[in-house]
């Protein structure tokens, strides 16, 4: 980590972030998870990411050094009552959680559920020290995983999954 640790607050969390080291790692990634996968649900998400992530989320990403088009993982969980599709995913950034309950909540021996802060009825996010699918440029750095969930409409011409 560089000497440029910055304090960032969001919801119940106080974080320390090395945005410079995070930006350096993201600069080494050619694409985010949705483009690397290329399945229809991932393509649907990627086609809308500029509207999925709010201005507030964009400002948070900027403060942490996160590139919003380089998700570490995206997954579609299904269609919800509103007709939208529930997606989850995460990013990594170099830093650590200073305070605030970890967003990863264990509900049984092998089951974890994210406990996120709702930013709107269609988007929420939170932070956990439980990191998964760490991409090569981030390996060896102290990391925090920014988890999110989003309710996203289906806009592709491809048949909409249930």
What pLDDT does residue 120 have?
86
Q: Would you state the pLDDT for residue 28?
A: 98
Mean residue pLDDT of the chain comes to 92
| Position 114 pLDDT exceeds 90 | no
Range 69-86 average pLDDT? 94
Half-sphere exposure of 49 (CA within 13 A, CB side): 19
Please give the pLDDT value at position 54.
86
Reported as type and span, the H/E element at residue 58 is helix 55-64
Using CA atoms, how far apart are residues 46 and 48, in angstroms rounded to an integer?
5
Q: Is 2 exposed, middle or buried (0-12, 13-18, 19+ CB in 10 A)?
A: exposed
The string of pLDDT tens digits covering residues 32-77 is: 999 999 999 999 999 999 899 988 999 999 999 999 999 999 999 9
- pTM of the predicted model, to two decimals? 0.92
The three-state secondary structure class of 107 is: strand
CA atoms of 96 and 1, how far apart (whole Å): 11
The closest of 151, 142, 154, 158 to 18, measured between CA atoms, is: 142
């Amino acid at each position: 980590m560089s000497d440029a640790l910055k304090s960032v607050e969001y919801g119940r969390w106080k974080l320390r972030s090395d945005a410079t080291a995070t930006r350096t790692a993201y600069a080494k990634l050619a694409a985010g998870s949705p483009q690397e996968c290329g399945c229809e649900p991932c393509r649907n998400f990627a086609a809308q990411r500029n509207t999925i992530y709010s201005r507030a989320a964009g400002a948070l990403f900027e403060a942490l050094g996160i590139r919003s088009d380089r998700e570490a993982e995206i997954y579609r969980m299904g269609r919800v009552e509103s007709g939208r599709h529930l997606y989850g995913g995460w990013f990594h950034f170099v830093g650590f959680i200073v305070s605030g309950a970890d967003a990863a909540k264990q509900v049984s021996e092998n089951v974890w559920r994210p406990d996120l802060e709702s930013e709107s009825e269609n988007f929420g996010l939170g932070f956990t020290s439980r990191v998964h699918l760490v991409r090569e440029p981030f390996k060896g750095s102290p990391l925090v995983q920014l988890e999110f969930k989003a309710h996203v409409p289906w806009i592709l011409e491809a048949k909409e999954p249930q």
